[in-house]
Structure 1
């Protein structure tokens, strides 16, 4: 009999580099599944640690909320270890190529796409702004959304670098995320969780 479906967090450490600058960062890597199968959201920095956390379960996919190097640098190694496909929105393929020039993603994330793991449905929500291909991943069954760097505890993610735009990220959050139920837990790419209701006051109105 399958164990209960659940969300697990693995915190990994490394660097983020873009536009000639490099910063030390801690990333949240998310595992979603049960005792038999699991998917990984944002394979950051340490493929070995993430693989250990999968604990022998079948990895159905490695999902990338966006293609900044600190969210995908372990994706290739993790896919090699597990045989799981790496999925990314096509608008971030150019960014991906900066980190993995010799390997393309195995498949695409597209707006409205539905993926399945452990008997649950996961809905892909395209939320451009932090990068053009940024996506959030909503699991209604768990009242949870994985927002990468689009929405944090405290408001929208950063847009001060290449491939980003502040009005776009704010519009994406207003139209695609703040319309989710208020008690939806927001699992972010860095830092603590929050909720949709808690972040509504932190996103500027149009």
Structure 2
């Protein structure tokens, strides 16, 4: 398994390329702001041929470069239908403050857009990516898993020490907690989490130290309700 990545643009959004090995086909995850050159460099370095872009959600910092990346290689982009409108109208995912900062930015859909669904298994580039619909950060947020390798691309659902913010349009705190409980807590401790921002972590580390997952586990054990913990992250 080959997984390589880099933090793209001002938002430092993690963009990944995933392949069975060097010299083979690959999938690109979340090409954000100014990601084109970084993607091209990884493809050259590892002699990879991309067959698709997969998107964890539709926020600007994760989809900024999806149209040029797809267009240059004539490949499709996969996104959940609840976030598809953000590909061409990113302002729908912004707060009023963000709209002032990023007003005037225009994006377009790639020529070929395919829609993700919960539980789907994408067979791409010799990989089998399991799709988990994980709303809460946005309505159409998803995570991707490689179950045999115990790897999760969590997008802005789960970070090292935090979770995705829920105060932007389409975000909802109780919903993201349900997503964490349903899609993260059942995973093995050894599962490697590759998030949308920041360093990689593991489910076991987050279960033990992340104030949200730890509080959730403690509250479930005590019979209490949803946890209330520290700050969240994401655009």
User: Structure 2 length normalisation: TM-score?
Assistant: 0.77
Distance 1:101 1:32, change over 3 A: closer
Q: Give the drift of 1:118.
A: 4.4
Unpaired stretches in structure 2, ≥5 consecutive residues: 91-105, 217-225, 227-235
Query: Which residue of the partner structure matches residue 49 of structure 1?
Result: 38
For the structure 1 residues 102 and 72, does the alpha-carbon distance in structure 2 shift closer, same or farther, using more than 3 Å as the test? closer
Equivalent position SS for 1:59? strand
Report the number of matched residues: 192
Query: Which whole-Å deviations, capped at 9, do the CAs of 1:146-185 have from their partners, x for residues lacking one?
Result: 0011100013211111110111111101111111111100
When Rg is computed on C-alpha atoms for both structures, the one with the higher figure is 2
1:146 paired residue among 130, 140, 153: 153
Greater strand share, structure number: 1
Partner of residue 222, structure 2 = none
Task: After superposition, give the CA deviation of every residue in 1:77-115 in whole Å (9 maximum; x if it has no partner).
Answer: 000111110110001123222146642661011111111
TM-superposed CA distance for 1:127, in Å, is 0.2
Give the alignment's TM-score, normalised by structure 1. Answer: 0.87
- Determine which of 38, 53, 56 is the counterpart of 1:65: 56
User: Would you tell me which structure has more helix in proportion to its own residues?
Assistant: 2
1:199 corresponds to: 206
Distance in 2 of aligned mates of 1:47 and 1:173:
31
Please tell me the root mean square deviation across aligned C-alpha atoms, in Å. 1.6
| Structure 2: distance between partners of 1:96 and 1:117 | 22
What is the deviation of 1:72? 0.1
